[in-house]
Structure 1
Amino acid sequence: MPSAYYAPLDQPLTSTDDDDEEADIERHQQQHQRRPKGAAAPSIPFLEAHHHSPMAHLRVASGVVGGRRRCLLPLVLALLFLIAFCYFTFGADTRLALGLGGGGGGSDDSDDGMHSLDGILSRALNETLHLCSEGLFDQRLYVQDKPMEEYGNLPIIYFVTPTYPRREQIPELTRLAHTLLHVPRLHWLVANDQEGCNVFMDLMLKGFGIPYTHLASPMPSNFRKAKPAPRGVANRRAALQWLRQRNLTNGILYFGDDDNTYDLRLFSEIRQTQRVSMFPVGFIADYGVSGPVVRKGKVVAFLDSWLAGRRWPVDMAGFAVNLQYMAQFPNVNMPYKPGFEEDRFLRSIGLRLDQIEPRGNNCTEILVWHTQTKSKKAAVVRLESEYLDGRSNLGALFRSLKIMGVASASDTEGPKALISKNGKAAAHSTILS
């Protein structure tokens, strides 16, 4: 079978046999809205409707009442100029939030609002990312007591982990790494929500010996103040762009957060994915679980406590995608809309219900848990800087903790650090001088 490839971003999506009428409508609308290079910019929808056009009303008015209303012309033109300025100045996702994006301002929470949805899915990814470091060679000699060469024929799993600076970041990545150390033929894509590269993280990832790519992929500033903020979206979009830029079409894509818990059997299961595989995720919302409903070996519905009109109400950790299948869809995307990232991503790859492959013993087993660590602010302790020199380990220890974002020492702030000996607190000078 020849390898699939990513079509150019301006090439129309090739149609496939599909008995799902809604999917056909989506692809038709995506093809209609996608424009080739050099084509005119998309027009503002309400200007295209003659009967509702402000200019049309202006022309009627001027014909009826003459020059008395001609003074409205500068105001209308100014309004149109302002709308056009907003349309072409702001980013695509900002235009969507303003009701100016895609194919209209309708809600995309249901199939009735397909114009807005198509506007999201027909735009190519253009994410801000910076390649910090990469390790392309597996430095592990053995995995699960077998030499690495015995795994040469396995498909590679591209394990995408969005992360962001916080007190728990480094310990959670460390915990996840010690799960991934047991998984052969895996490339770890770590995308950090940070403007610059984290040198400490570079050294840490390299030290594990797992093939990896470290990306800096900050969230666009216009989304940072949103509540809730679309956390992790820029990171996953950056990873999708990284895969596309390298034309990687052989392997399995999986989105794995740094605070989840993974059964090692999960990796053997998803490695068999032909198109899209799905499985239940534990610790999700009110039901304590989210996942497919399987009848006679086929996915027929979904169990999730938050539907919100989503066609695919699944958790990000509850599915895997074959890259060869995904490569058929040049406009793979994920919108900045909290709660709808999974649904819109799966729509962008043209998924049908009858294509889903249930895993985890017909979705009866939990192989991934949505565990979460309670987040706290980094600690600050009062510990005089004169005692953070080479006379003890404390100087090096707190420098390391500060780099990791866990804790820092201060001469004036925070509770005073207690040093004890024989069960009794002692002054720093007594112990360290």
Structure 2
Amino acid sequence: MGVLILLVIGVFFFNNSYMMADDASQDFAMIPVNDTMAVCFESFDDTRKMLYEVNGGDSTPEPTPIIYFVTPTYPRREQIAEITRLGQTLMHVPHLHWIVADDTDSCNRVLNSLLKRFGIPYTHIASPMPAFYRTKKLVPRGVANRRAALAWIRNNNKRSGVLYFGDDDNTFDLKLFSEIRTTKKVSMFPVGLIGDYAVSTPVVKNGKVEGFFDSWPAKRKWPVDMAGFAVSLEYMAASPNVTMPFKAGYEEDEFLKSIGLRMQDIEPKASNCTEVLVWHTQTKNNKPPKVRISAGALQDDKANLGVLLKQLGAMGVSHISQSEGTVAQITKDGKSKSLLSWFS
């Protein structure tokens, strides 16, 4: 069943003495933030069971912890393609609830239809970034979305399971999910394709985390990537002031500080941080092209192009116009003709 909830949360953040490594910043000191979050739709039904049930399903007597997989996303040409790829991965992961938080003022029906098709239990949230931060030189992308997910977890009193932040363009080894599912407090692991070292990872000695290997330390206490840790919800629930500030580059550090993390609490995963199970892949963003196409081609009910191009337009992949843009042509036997000649 669809649920529409509007939550407005006023939060005052603590004063941070720096924005970048050596620069003092007043921009983030005691700024009132009104977070707007609309839950567009959510489903707790799992229709994927045939994909992963083997020999009658899970025989473990203890309930399997649920992974709350939080994905911040935003409207762009590649959004539906990215979510499709990630969703195909998550379809293979049992006991997972996918929280997709979109940086929009209103609910995206195309995105919601796609999420529903996967059969994964999910919550679709519209959580726009406050306008104040969109004009900053360093825009804190994804923060409003992750904050909305944290608010959803808190408001729904989720106190068991594991929280993980997974971007829509990252690449995940399925082994990662079985590793983080056993997180007791905070687990950490390497993330590939990060910075000048090509990896961000805890440094582990004798099974314990001793430090961090990251090419952008920036005076952070916890110099890790957002995809490089998972948090037990039971552990997080003990910190009532958990938050993530709108401070570009320091989101992970301040979040981990807010849950009271200590070095001895960290559980190294991925074979004592010797394996890369998540990659910080990034898709190149391109401006949606404009295709000049005749009205006849769009309205012809015997041809596919009108329906197809309208769907791509709804996804933000391309735009169609009758007066401007790249002229649409059809090719047959090596010869190209304008659409007008085909549909006239």
Fold shared, TM-score > 0.5 on shorter chain: yes
Give the CA deviation at 1:151.
Answer: 7.1
**Residue 367 of structure 1 pairs with residue 273 of structure 2:** no
For the residue of structure 1 that corresponds to 2:235, the secondary structure is: helix
Give the CA deviation at 1:255.
Answer: 0.1
Give the CA deviation at 1:424.
Answer: 0.4
**Residue 400 of structure 1 pairs with residue 311 of structure 2:** yes
**Residue 356 of structure 1 pairs with residue 266 of structure 2:** yes
Name the CA shift for 1:140/1:217 in 2 (closer, same or farther; >3 Å). Answer: same
**Residue 144 of structure 1 pairs with residue 52 of structure 2:** yes
Name the CA shift for 1:238/1:107 in 2 (closer, same or farther; >3 Å). Answer: same
Match of 1:171 in 2: 81
For the residue of structure 1 that corresponds to 2:18, the secondary structure is: coil
CA distance in 1, matches of 2:205, 2:264: 12
Give the CA deviation at 1:384.
Answer: 1.3
CA distance in 2, matches of 1:288, 1:240: 29
What pairs up with 1:8-407 in 2 under 5 angstroms?
102=14, 106-107=17-18, 127-146=35-54, 149-150=57-58, 153-389=63-299, 390-407=301-318
Task: Between 411-420 and 227-236, report the one with greater CA deviation.
Answer: 411-420
Give the CA deviation at 1:109.
Answer: 6.6
* Structure 1 runs (4+) greater than 3 angstroms displaced: 105-110, 115-120
CA deviations 1:210-242 (Å, max 9, x no partner) are 000000000001111112211100000000000
Contact 1:156 1:185 in 2 (8 A): yes
Give the CA deviation at 1:420.
Answer: 0.8
1:370 aligned partner, one-letter code: H
Give the CA deviation at 1:260.
Answer: 0.2
Contact 1:250 1:322 in 2 (8 A): yes
Name the CA shift for 1:384/1:92 in 2 (closer, same or farther; >3 Å). Answer: same
Higher-Rg member (1/2)? 1
Name the CA shift for 1:395/1:118 in 2 (closer, same or farther; >3 Å). Answer: closer
Give the CA deviation at 1:425.
Answer: 0.4
CA deviations 1:95-123 (Å, max 9, x no partner) are xxxxxx746x743778xx9x999969xx9
Structure number having the greater strand percentage? 2
1:216 aligned partner, one-letter code: A
CA distance in 2, matches of 1:296, 1:428: 68
Give the CA deviation at 1:431.
Answer: 2.3
2:50 aligned partner, one-letter code: Y
For the residue of structure 1 that corresponds to 2:42, the secondary structure is: strand
Structure number having the greater helix percentage? 1
Name the CA shift for 1:420/1:302 in 2 (closer, same or farther; >3 Å). Answer: same
- TM value normalised by structure 1: 0.72
Percent identity of the aligned residues? 55
Name the CA shift for 1:126/1:321 in 2 (closer, same or farther; >3 Å). Answer: farther
Contact 2:201 2:214 in 1 (8 A): yes
Give the CA deviation at 1:392.
Answer: 1.0
Unaligned runs of 5+ in 2: 1-9
Name the CA shift for 1:117/1:402 in 2 (closer, same or farther; >3 Å). Answer: closer
- TM value normalised by structure 2: 0.90
Instruction: Choose which of 333, 339, 344 in structure 2 pairs with 1:428.
Output: 339
CA distance in 2, matches of 1:424, 1:268: 54
Give the CA deviation at 1:414.
Answer: 1.1
